[in-house]
Chains A and B, each alone.
Chain A
Amino acid sequence: MFEPSRLNTSLPESITSFGRLLRAGGLKVGTAEIINAIEAVELVGVAEKDLFKWALQGTLITKHESVPFFDWAFDIFWQDPGRTGRAAVLLKKLAARKALTGTHSEPTARQPHSTARSSATGRGKSADRDDGSGVSQTSAYSADESLKQKHFEQFTEDDMRMAVEFLKQAKFNSGMRSSRRYTPGHRQIRLDLQKTIRKNALQNRDFIKLAWKQRKIKPRPVVILSDISGSMERYSRILLHFMHTLSRQIKTMEAFTFGTRLTRITHQIRSGDIEVAMGRISADVKDWNGGTRMGAALETFNRIWARRTLGNGAIVILISDGWDTGNNELLKSEMGRLQRSCHRLIWLNPNIGYDTFEPLTRGVLTLLPFADEFLPVHNLQSLLDLSRVLAGIGSSNTRAKGILPHSDNFGAYS
Chain B
Amino acid sequence: MQAFNSIDHIIENLATYNYVADRPLATALFLALKMEKPLFLEGEAGVGKTEVAKVVASLLDTKLIRLQCYEGLDMQNALFEWNYARQILQIRLLEAAHETDQDKITKEIFGPEFLIRRPLLQAIDHQLDRAPVLLIDELDRADEEFEAFLLELLSDFQITIPEIGTIKAKYKPVVIITSNRTREIHDAVKRRCFYHWIDYPSAQRELAIVQLKLPSITSALGAQVVAFVQAAREMELYKQPGVAETLDWAAALAALGAAQLSYEAVEDTLGALLKYQDDLIKMRGDLAGGLVDRAISAANNPGIGSPPENV
The answer, among A36, A50, A57, for a CB contact under 8 Å with B23, is: A50
Chain A 26-70 near chain B by CB (<8 Å), digits 1 or 0: 001010110010011001100000110011011101111001000
Determine if B35 and A50 form an interchain contact, defined as CB atoms under 8 angstroms apart. Answer: no
Which residues of chain A are near B32, meaning CB under 8 Å? 58
The answer, among A30, A40, A43, A64, for a CB contact under 8 Å with B42, is: A64
The answer, among B24, B40, B181, for a CB contact under 8 Å with A54, is: B24
Find the B residue at minimum CB distance from A39.
B35
Determine if B27 and A32 form an interchain contact, defined as CB atoms under 8 angstroms apart. Answer: no
User: How distant is A72 from chain B, measured CB to nearest CB, in Å?
Assistant: 17
**Would you call B82 an interface residue if the criterion is a C-beta within 8 Å of the partner chain's C-beta atoms?**
no
The answer, among B7, B23, B31, B40, for a CB contact under 8 Å with A40, is: B31
Question: Which among B7, B23, B31 has the highest number of chain A CB atoms within 10 Å?
Answer: B31
Determine if B191 and A62 form an interchain contact, defined as CB atoms under 8 angstroms apart. Answer: yes
Find the A residue at minimum CB distance from B43.
A64
A-B interface contact total, Cβ < 8 Å: 56
Find the B residue at minimum CB distance from A66.
B195
Classify chain B's interface size.
20 to 34
Interface size (A, Cβ < 8 Å)?
21
Determine if A62 and B31 form an interchain contact, defined as CB atoms under 8 angstroms apart. Answer: no
Which residues of chain B are near A59, meaning CB under 8 Å? 31, 194-195
**Would you call B236 an interface residue if the criterion is a C-beta within 8 Å of the partner chain's C-beta atoms?**
no
**Would you call B168 an interface residue if the criterion is a C-beta within 8 Å of the partner chain's C-beta atoms?**
no
**Would you call B239 an interface residue if the criterion is a C-beta within 8 Å of the partner chain's C-beta atoms?**
no
Which residues of chain A are near B31, meaning CB under 8 Å? 40, 43-44, 55, 58-59
Determine if B37 and A36 form an interchain contact, defined as CB atoms under 8 angstroms apart. Answer: yes
Determine if A62 and B310 form an interchain contact, defined as CB atoms under 8 angstroms apart. Answer: no
The answer, among B35, B190, B195, for a CB contact under 8 Å with A43, is: B35
Known: A50-B23, A62-B40. 6 other contacts (CB 8 A): A43-B31, A51-B23, A54-B28, A55-B31, A58-B32, A61-B195
Find the B residue at minimum CB distance from A55.
B31
User: How distant is A31 from chain B, measured CB to nearest CB, in Å?
Assistant: 11
**Would you call B196 an interface residue if the criterion is a C-beta within 8 Å of the partner chain's C-beta atoms?**
yes
Chain B 14-32 near chain A by CB (<8 Å), digits 1 or 0: 0000000001100110111
User: How distant is A157 from chain B, measured CB to nearest CB, in Å?
Assistant: 36
Find the B residue at minimum CB distance from A59.
B194
In the assembled complex, 9 residue pairs joining A and B whose CB atoms fall closer than 8 Å, in A order, are A43-B35, A44-B27, A50-B24, A54-B28, A58-B32, A58-B196, A62-B190, A62-B191, A64-B197
**Would you call B187 an interface residue if the criterion is a C-beta within 8 Å of the partner chain's C-beta atoms?**
yes
CA distance A54 to B22 in the complex (A): 12
Determine if A58 and B23 form an interchain contact, defined as CB atoms under 8 angstroms apart. Answer: no
**Would you call B34 an interface residue if the criterion is a C-beta within 8 Å of the partner chain's C-beta atoms?**
yes
Which residues of chain A are near B197, meaning CB under 8 Å? 64, 67
User: How distant is A351 from chain B, measured CB to nearest CB, in Å?
Assistant: 22
Which residues of chain B are near A30, meaning CB under 8 Å? 191
Which residues of chain B are near A64, meaning CB under 8 Å? 42, 181, 197
CA distance A58 to B25 in the complex (A): 10
Which residues of chain A are near B23, meaning CB under 8 Å? 50-51, 54
With A44-B27, A44-B31, A54-B24 as given contacts, are A32 and B194 in contact (CB-CB < 8 Å)? no
Which residues of chain B are near A39, meaning CB under 8 Å? 35
Which residues of chain B are near A54, meaning CB under 8 Å? 23-24, 27-28
User: How distant is B280 from chain A, measured CB to nearest CB, in Å?
Assistant: 28
Within B168-196, which residues are at the interface with A (CB < 8 Å)?
181, 184, 187, 190-191, 194-196
The answer, among B7, B187, B195, B310, for a CB contact under 8 Å with A28, is: B187
CA distance A32 to B32 in the complex (A): 15
A-B pairs, top 8 by smallest CB distance, nearest first, are A62-B190, A64-B197, A58-B194, A54-B27, A40-B31, A43-B34, A54-B24, A58-B195
User: How distant is B180 from chain A, measured CB to nearest CB, in Å?
Assistant: 12
CA distance A58 to B27 in the complex (A): 9
Which residues of chain A are near B40, meaning CB under 8 Å? 62
User: How distant is B192 from chain A, measured CB to nearest CB, in Å?
Assistant: 9
